Amino acid sequence: MRLHKRLAIGGDRYPLVSDQLTLELSTPGRAVFTIQATGPVSGLVQLCVGYDAKTIPVYMLGYVEQCQALDAKQRRVVVRELPATLNRRVPLSLRHCRASEVLRAVTDQTGLAFSMGEGAWSEVMLPRFAHRGGGYMALDNLGQALEIPRFIWQQQPDGRVYFGSWDSSPFGGSTVPVPIARLTRQSAANGATLPVVPALRPGVRISIAGGQPVYITRVEIMGVDMRIRWSLNPWDNRLKKEVAA
């Protein structure tokens, strides 16, 4: 099967010369594309990846951060996923609020759209939620304040940012089998390289050759190859980082 990639920037399609993208769990993804273009490009970026040329699903949605001319016919384009707009101060001060109200306040400042998971935590009324730092920490602090089990926030292919428990996320509750034969190289105990599988992205739970399920924490795509990293318990790793901080 042949892998198909379609890149649209600002609503216009551009021939893709080379691509390198990285998606991570609870972190905005980034990419560098070399495209055929005679002038600068800007706006919304949509990368579709799949093996069926008739129905290629969106894999990454972001915006142009930088555009640099390589020569008269090529441009180097640096792209960030939409939640990168959280990388600035997002001051918040709300009283007697639920998660939905805090997220609405974040939307008002950043323009990001959120989808919220289900659970008892979504109805918890916080006496006060105050935050003076950056947007990433605002989401992390809200998840911690609500004691959301297996908490994640992650941009989805439609551009909305999922906020909630992994269990009620779009990929929660399911495990994707990965046959050992698909792996072209296992780089470490928690990483491997294989041909691009569009269904794999951060947050997806996989089982390699019927082994113990693990969670993908990072995906890198270069050409037709996909490098994945995983963790048995990414929430434990996250807690250790928070304690260390």
Which stretches does DSSP call E strand in the chain?
A: 4-9, 12-14, 16-24, 27-36, 44-50, 58-69, 74-81, 92-97, 114-116, 126-131, 151-155, 161-165, 176-178, 185-188, 191-195, 205-208, 214-222, 225-231
Q: Average pLDDT over the chain, rounded to whole? A: 93
Q: Which region holds residue 224: left if phi is over 0, alpha if psi is between -120 and 50, else beta?
A: alpha
Q: What global pTM score does this model have?
A: 0.90
Domain boundary among 84, 114, 131: 84
Q: What is the CATH number of the domain that holds 149?
A: 3.55.50.10
156 and 196 together in one domain: no
Position of tokens 């939307």?
107
**Which band of pLDDT confidence, cut at 50, 70 and 90, is reported for residue 238?**
low
62 and 97 together in one domain: no
Domain boundary among 150, 168, 186: 168
Q: Which region holds residue 232: left if phi is over 0, alpha if psi is between -120 and 50, else beta?
A: alpha
Domain boundary among 50, 84, 118: 84
Indicate whether 71 pLDDT > 50: yes
148 and 218 together in one domain: no
30 and 57 together in one domain: yes
pLDDT recorded at residue 4: 96
149 and 180 together in one domain: no
The parent domain of residue 36 ranges over 4-84
Written as six digits, the tokens of 203 are 């947050």
72 and 108 together in one domain: no
**Which band of pLDDT confidence, cut at 50, 70 and 90, is reported for residue 169?**
very high
What tens digit of pLDDT does each residue of 187-229 get? 767 899 999 999 999 999 999 888 899 999 999 999 999 999 9
What tens digit of pLDDT does each residue of 1-40 get? 899 999 999 999 999 999 999 999 999 999 999 999 999 9
Written as six digits, the tokens of 135 are 């947007």
Mean pLDDT of 84-104: 97
**Which band of pLDDT confidence, cut at 50, 70 and 90, is reported for residue 244?**
very low
99 and 149 together in one domain: yes
122 and 180 together in one domain: no
- 240, part of any domain: no
Indicate whether 239 pLDDT > 50: no
158 and 117 together in one domain: yes
How many domains does the chain fold into? 3
Mean pLDDT of 44-69: 96
116 and 94 together in one domain: yes
- 131, part of any domain: yes
- Report which of 150, 144, 154, 145 is spatially closest to residue 167, judged by C-alpha positions: 150
3-state SS, one letter per residue, for 75-89: EEEEEEEHHHHHCCE
